[in-house]
Structure 1
Amino acid sequence: MFTLKKIGILTSGGDSQGMNSAIRSVVKTGINNGFEMIGIKRGYKGLMENDFSKLELKDVGDILYRGGTFLQSARSEEFKTEHGQLKAINNLKKAEIDYLVVIGGDGSYRGADALGKRGIKTYGLPGTIDNDIPLTDYTIGFDTTLNVVTDAIGNLRDTMSSHERVSVIEVMGRNAGDIALQAGISSGVDAILIPELEWDITKVSNRLKHGFEEGKTHSIVMVAEGAGKAEDIATLIREHTDLDTRSTVLGHIQRGGTPSAFDRIFTSRMGHEVINLIKQDISGVALGMEKNKITYHTFDEIFKSKDVFDKKLYEIFEDLV
């Protein structure tokens, strides 16, 4: 008797807008190509705890526009151990799951790779708002986050202008400044501080002071969390300029909201392609987008590569200030 092959899917690490859209694409494409789809709740934690449920078309019918992940996510220290990984593998085999699709960032990819080296056929989709996965131009949720941050800056600009203030805005990006750089350019801010480049508080302060002397009624400094704390930087600017300076940390609001059209289309393309790779029996790979084409690389290739900072884009910003 013919048995449908089963594909498991989970989301791991921090959530990002578009994860639901990615789940929808994988599930719908999988079912329409004859696979049985199994949702795994709460990431690798749920994988170890056997928190599985069959997914039908109706289960993903209205999640395209929803932020977050309806499969939920959780971090697990136990899964990093050999014992935890063997427990997960045993659950996959008991459930007769043949393939595992993991949506998440670097840590999630390393988990998928660990399972792959133990014989599980695994696949990665880049789910992180930080846009810090190598060998892909975009990650799931990054475009939506840019829009969220840009809107927030627009709202802050209104009140900063009313009170002739400097606003220091801290966004996510512990090791990568893509959110700060790109949202900063789209918002016309006056300074961008990112972890990839050294910055000089005297230079930043002089630029802001000069702007007010030339008639500006407000200024905005964008800082990625990996480059410093907004409150500390605001204090330094006040000490150097005597300007009324306030700090704002956008925090987890950056992860929320309905995914942008770009993120919906991007995830739909990747979800469709991962099923094609499964049908070709290609595994141990993660997907992404390069030059508007959906591509894939092995996990080892991604781990050995470095996320390339777009220095040219920063030079463009400097010429626009």
Structure 2
Amino acid sequence: MSEKKPETSESDQKTTKAPSLLRNYLSFAGIAIVAASFTSIVLLVLMEISGGTENPYTDLITFIFIPSILVFGLFIAFVGALLERRRRRKNPLGLVARYPILDLNDSGRRRTFLVFLVLAFVFLFMSAFGSYRAYEYTESVTFCGQACHAVMKPEFIAYNASPHAKVRCVECHVGGGAEWYVRSKFSGMRQLYGVITNDYNKPIQTPVYNMRSANETCQKCHWSEKFHGDQLKIFNHYGYDEKSSLNQTRMLIKVGGGSAEGGQVGGIHWHMNIANEVTFVAADDKLQNIPWVRMKGADGKVVEYTATNASLSPGEI
């Protein structure tokens, strides 16, 4: 009789599965950071949905600050896995392949791959949503006027009392297009550094010399071809007597405007017609002292005005 070989169980035939590369202290710390950040984001989003009050710092924390911490946690976990893999490869008994193995015929690896795809999809979806909300927030009036309230408080108060109170700050200070959006964000990084280090002008200096051309911002609403004609403006004043007597000041403002092609041109918006050219020289940084002005009309006629007390050399004009 032939000797029978002892039967080996199916479990004995399976090779021992190596523990996950994430099983190290550094990756554990990264995963803990990710879990805490994700939980915080979910709670803050739920609070924002259910709450009726608007806090200028909620979106800043929810969609910019905490997601940055979450990405940092993912980076820490990934670095920990790489270091653990390197450590195991140095061990002769580690049997760690040189490159990761993707074998979809293996049910275990297939499940791991599917879980990875699902988590990657969720992460990309959350990243897209968070990125859009972060973009939306950084373009908001709340971010410009209240997130940096210590810096922009005077300007924000003046803005709310101005005729442009319903116009977002970025529509004039940035305008449309990717180029100026990127430039504004790089400028914002410099300004953020100035706020953190308390290195900025107090008060904010005006005028701003590096702003975008008015043709690309202001004229989106105030186009030069628009003719407004004469506008009646009434100013109400009330006396200090018992009846608070009304005293009205009525002004007929010749706004004018228009273009040569469209018809009538005139009024205080005469200079908005691009066929007319106005050049001036300012003697101060605030552009308040104007000693010399030159006007060139559409017909080519040039008229120059010089202040009687001005002493400008030809090189300064």
Output the TM-score relative to the length of structure 1: 0.23
In terms of Rg, which structure is larger?
2
* Bigger relative contact order, structure 1 or 2 (CA pairs below 8 A, ≥6 apart): 1
Structure having the higher strand fraction is: 1
